[in-house]
Amino acid sequence: MNSFKALLKREYWESKGSMFYAPASIAAFFAIVMIVGAITGPTVVEHNGHSVNVLEQLPNVVDEFNNIDEEKRDKAVQMGLYAPRVMFGFVMFVISLFYCLGSLYDERKDKSILFWKSLPVSDTATVLSKFVAVILLIPALYFGVVAIFQVFLLLFGTVVAWFGGSSGVTIWASSNLFGVLFNSLFSLIVASLWMAPLWAWLMLASSWAKKVAFLWGTLPIFLIAIAEGWIFHSSNFIEMVGKRIVLGFTTMNSDMHYLVGAEMFEESFVSHWYEVFAKGEFWVGIVVAAVFLVGAIYTRRFRDES
């Protein structure tokens, strides 16, 4: 267990930039833009041909906000808190993609695999640690950044409320902060788990590729799609891949979908992240991922680098 933790730490050391610094800088960038915008932004704006003094209007806006229907206010605040996760979730998806492609390829490219293999760590533990990194570690780190950003949004809203002459308590009362944090964490993890077959496939390609792991990861998918279209005149395979990705995003943001209560995404799938566990496709995905992982372990174990 100690050595598995060490393997995860190793993944973090190697990919600190994409796992933590990338989302952290995005969050910092938006926070700074919001703060600077609030301080230096124009105090007078044109609205329907009239000049409106923002600071003078602020109490009215805050007042209006405090007096709207509680349910509506809850929704508005919580949607505001969930919204940044859409962006962080997308960044996480792209980062995970490249992480998997490099996971078993980079160590062969720089020959450090010979150092890792000189230590008493099995190939199974190594490959699984990289899989756990993409399923748990990356979502957890992105959640950490999202959570801090969500708290920042509440603080920002509170300060705005102060300028509007209110205590800002209503924002916190409507936020359901712990629920939002809880859902944000598990939505990110479960969405990554839903995409497990994709990650595992990319890891297999990564363990196999002699050069350009990116092509090994993507080309077979397109070749199968083309072959299917040519032979069967159908496009089931590429639709399945596309659906896997799209439903990954809808799962990640299912609680927003639930709040709005409308067809926010064309493909409605689940209205809570935990409902994914009831879907057969989820478990099929896990089994497919397991097969790819066994392939990756086997390839790393017996691949002869010479």
Compare residues 109 and 243 and give the one whose CB is closer to other proteins. Answer: 109
Contact with other proteins (CB under 8 A) among 111, 178, 233, 280: 111
Binding span for other proteins by CB under 8 A among 25-33, 103-111, 234-242, 270-278: 103-111
Contact with other proteins (CB under 8 A) among 56, 64, 110, 239: 110
Report how far residue 164's alpha carbon sits from residue 58's, in angstroms, rounded to the nearest whole number: 5
Task: Tell me the two tokens of residue 10.
Answer: 């190793």
Q: In the window 177-236, what residues touch other proteins (CB under 8 A)?
A: none
Nearest CA among 32, 43, 27, 36 for reference residue 163: 43
Q: Smallest distance, Å, CB 51 to other proteins?
A: 56
Report how far residue 140's alpha carbon sits from residue 28's, in angstroms, rounded to the nearest whole number: 18
Nearest CA among 178, 175, 159, 179 for reference residue 167: 159
> Whose structure tokens read 């949607």?
79
Report how far residue 187's alpha carbon sits from residue 43's, in angstroms, rounded to the nearest whole number: 39
Question: Counting contacts by CB under 8 A, is residue 238 touching other proteins?
Answer: no
Contact with other proteins (CB under 8 A) among 62, 88, 103, 107: 107
Task: Tell me the two tokens of residue 169.
Answer: 């308590």
Sequence-distant (6+) residues with CB within 8 A of 244 are: 194, 195, 197, 198, 285
Task: Tell me the two tokens of residue 13.
Answer: 């050391």
Site string for other proteins, 282-301 (x = CB under 8 A): -------------------x
Compare residues 10 and 279 and give the one whose CB is closer to other proteins. Answer: 10
Sign of CA dihedral 241, 182, 146, 100: negative
Contact with other proteins (CB under 8 A) among 53, 57, 67, 122: 122
Report how far residue 179's alpha carbon sits from residue 153's, in angstroms, rounded to the nearest whole number: 16
Contact with other proteins (CB under 8 A) among 51, 69, 71, 119: 119
Binding span for other proteins by CB under 8 A among 40-48, 119-127, 206-214, 288-296: 119-127
Binding span for other proteins by CB under 8 A among 8-16, 48-56, 138-146, 252-260: 8-16
How many chain residues are in contact with other proteins, going by CB under 8 A? 28
Task: Tell me the two tokens of residue 98.
Answer: 């490249």
Sequence-distant (6+) residues with CB within 8 A of 5 are: none
Question: Counting contacts by CB under 8 A, is residue 46 touching other proteins?
Answer: no
Bridge partners of 226, per DSSP, are none
Question: Counting contacts by CB under 8 A, is residue 121 touching other proteins?
Answer: yes
Q: Smallest distance, Å, CB 136 to other proteins?
A: 18
Contact with other proteins (CB under 8 A) among 40, 48, 51, 118: 118
Contact set with other proteins (CB under 8 A): 2-3, 5-7, 9-10, 13-14, 107, 110-115, 117-123, 301-302, 304-306
